[in-house]
Structure 1
Amino acid sequence: MNCKQANAVPISIIMESFSLFPSKQNRKSAFYFALDREERTPSLLVDYSNNTAFDFGTGKKYDVISIVQLIKRCSVAEALSFISLNNFSQTFSTPGWDVAADTNCIDAVTDVKHPALIDYLTRRKLNTEIGELVEIRYCNLGKTFFGVGFKNDSGGYEISNALKFKRCLGRKDITSICNAQSILRMFESWSDYLSFKVINNSSNHGDADYVVLNSVSMIQRFARNPMGYASVELFFDNDDAGDRATELLKQQFTMAQDQRFLYSDHKDLNEFLKSRK
């Protein structure tokens, strides 16, 4: 893969591969939070038509390769290798607005009934928590797709299916489960949250409040101030992103506790759950 081919891959797809999603978007552009610093107002503008990004905080302009370099802190050669190995060129038809991101294209929201989705949840040992999810049918580029959906605080849905396809329909946001308790438990994904419920053998976790980030990148938008909690338990992934998120919250809040020792030999809570007999 050469530089011209790499820079033809939509920046939005590159960002999504790192679980980075826009704070707001329209058909022409999207705003993301800066990749190299914390901020309250998103300052990184992605222009879909030019397939470039501009950081209003630093005045720097990025193409696809330099965005990968910024995120991975790597050389041009390493960025090209990353893009090539992940076959991003096969994952898109045309750059720009993806209608699957618009809640207006949702055709139906029902209970989870499709055999393929039930099998998908069963294989992940989450079928007992099926009531926490919905079945979403939506259109994209004239075709209809379906998956399990987990609703966020802005009315959007995190979509997943057995093909390892993940997408957010509607606005990206966290999901809050409030029970007016003094303990807050935080998870990266809905599957980790539901895995926690299965592992603890309870469908009523009223002993704590819960926040599902729906992407570790959303930690920058975590609006709730945990100072009112006696304890904040962190159940993030055992990877670099999980490490950074955990350290960020531990530095910011003295009551934050890293709970990953409970599944230190596994990538996340769901992998730990699946390993149990």
Structure 2
Amino acid sequence: MNCEKIKNRVSIKSVLESFNFFPVKENSKTAFYFALDREEKVPSLSVDFAKNKAFDFGTGKIYDVISIVQQVKKCAVPEALQYLKTLDFSECILKLKPEKTSLAISYEITKISDIEHPALVEYLHDRKVTGQNHLVKEVHYRLKRKTFFGIGFKNDSGGFEVRNKYSKICLGRKDITLIKNKNNRNNEVSIFEGFFDYLTFRKLQKEDSNSDCLILNSTSMLFKAKGRLKEYDKISLFLDNDSNGKNTKEIIKKEYENIEDCSLLYENFKDLNEWFCSS
């Protein structure tokens, strides 16, 4: 595969996630990240998902997927291409574990507790998932000599997906979260991209769901779930209505049987939570 094909077919979001870079602010088309090559308080790297490119407002540099790998790994083009070839381009699903970067080793979790901070209580209220506080934690952490806090959702490797009104980050190793249900008599699993959609699902259920729940915490983590999904007789998909969500849906449909696409419920919205908040 040549350079141009790689630039057009590999998701820039997946490449950034492979280095444990996650957006601070995001919508369906663009996102802001902290810079690749320096510490900063305000994110300056603008990523355009449609163009599959990034622009650093601090330096004026324009990045594609190849130059991102070059910048992070401090390597030449051939080595960058070799790294990108370890990704499954046709499916845009990560085949390797995220590498540790300065972000992965420079943080310190200082406190984990039940949700108490008024700002986080208000954020859960804004996302209409109050009543599900017992499923998440309040996580305080230190990063780049500054202290932060957010709503933490634990994954299967012991890491935390941390969200607040202004940022989104993963502390520790990136992984899926599989929640088993002892009442799962029909051997079903419901799949979500993020934990707010899972909390929304729990909010919508007047009674406990009879299915297991799998939260990917990123579409790039689907490879972590592939072996486990073979165990289920039915798979219900609550994925986002964006390109990553649609690609992931098609991959699952090709590999497994008895799939129910539940995104039709919120087809005019980005995801389940956005639809629920609009009602």
What TM-score do the two structures reach when normalised by structure 1? Answer: 0.66
Equivalent position to 1:124, from 106, 127, 130: 127
Deviation at residue 54 of structure 1 after TM alignment: 6.4
Letter matched to residue 228 of structure 2: N
- One-letter amino acid of the counterpart of residue 175, structure 1: T
Distance 1:194 1:60, change over 3 A: closer
Q: Secondary structure at the match of 2:260?
A: strand
Runs ≥4 in structure 1, deviation > 4 angstroms? 44-47, 51-56
- Partner residue in 1 for 2:74: 50
Q: What does residue 170 of structure 1 align with?
A: 172
Give the C-alpha shift of residue 232 in structure 1.
0.4
**C-alpha distance in structure 2 between counterparts of 1:61 and 1:187, whole Å:** 26
Question: 1:256 is aligned with what amino acid?
Answer: I
* 1:235 corresponds to 2:235: no
Q: Which residue of 1 aligns with 2:181?
A: 179
1:108 paired residue number: 111
Amino acid at match of 1:177: I
What is the distance in 2 between the residues matched to 1:161 and 1:244? Answer: 27
Q: Counterparts in 2 of 1:45-124, with a 5 A limit?
A: 48=72, 50=74, 59=82, 97-98=102-103, 101-102=104-105, 105-124=108-127
Code of the residue aligned with 2:192 in structure 1: it is: F
Give the alignment partner of residue 140 of structure 2, picking from 128, 137, 142.
137
Report 1:185-264 matches (<5 A): 185-202=190-207, 204-205=208-209, 207-264=210-267
Q: CA deviation at 1:171?
A: 0.3
Paired residues for 1:30-45 under 5 Å: none
Q: Does the CA contact (< 8 Å) of 2:112 and 2:137 recur in 1?
A: yes
Q: Which residue of 2 aligns with 1:20?
A: 17
- Distance in 1, Cα, partners of 2:17 & 2:77: 14
Tell me if the contact between 2:106 and 2:143 (Cα under 8 Å) persists in the aligned partners.
Answer: no
Following superposition, the deviation at residue 47 of structure 1 comes to: 6.9
Q: 1:270 aligns with which of 260, 264, 273?
A: 273
Looking at structure 2, the residues matched to 241 and 124 of structure 1 have their Cα atoms a distance apart, in angstroms, of 22
Match status 1:149 vs 2:146: no
Which 5+ residue runs of structure 2 have no aligned equivalent? 1-11, 21-67, 91-100
Letter in 2 for 1:271: E
Q: Distance in 2 between matches of 1:127 and 1:102?
A: 33
| Alpha-carbon distance in structure 1 between the residues aligned to 2:82 and 2:259 | 35
Conserved 8 A contact 1:21-1:172: no
CA-to-aligned-CA distance 1:121-145 (integer Å, 9 cap, x gap): 1000011101101000000111110
- Taking structure 2 as the reference length, what is the TM-score of the superposition? 0.66
Assess, with a 3 A threshold, how the Cα gap between structure 1 residues 19 and 60 changes in structure 2: closer, same or farther.
closer
Q: How far has the Cα of 1:49 moved from its partner?
A: 5.6
* Residues 134-158 of structure 1, C-alpha deviations (whole Å, 9 max, x = no match): 0000001111100000000000000
Output the amino acid matched with 1:50. Answer: K
The answer for unaligned runs of 5 or more in structure 1 is: 1-13, 24-43, 63-69, 72-95
Q: Equivalents in 1 of 2:241, 2:274: separation in Å?
A: 11
Contact 2:106 2:144 in 1 (8 A): no
CA contact 1:177–1:210 (8 Å) conserved in 2: yes
Q: Identity of aligned pairs, percent?
A: 34
- Indicate how the Cα distance of structure 1 residues 187 and 122 shifts in structure 2: closer, same or farther if over 3 A, else same: same
Looking at structure 2, the residues matched to 47 and 272 of structure 1 have their Cα atoms a distance apart, in angstroms, of 38
Q: Is the 8 A contact 1:19 1:215 kept in 2?
A: no
2: CA distance between counterparts of 1:52 and 1:187? Answer: 37
Matched residue pairs, number? 206
Contact 1:47 1:53 in 2 (8 A): no
Q: Which amino acid aligns with 1:20?
A: E
Secondary structure at the aligned position of 2:236 is classed as strand
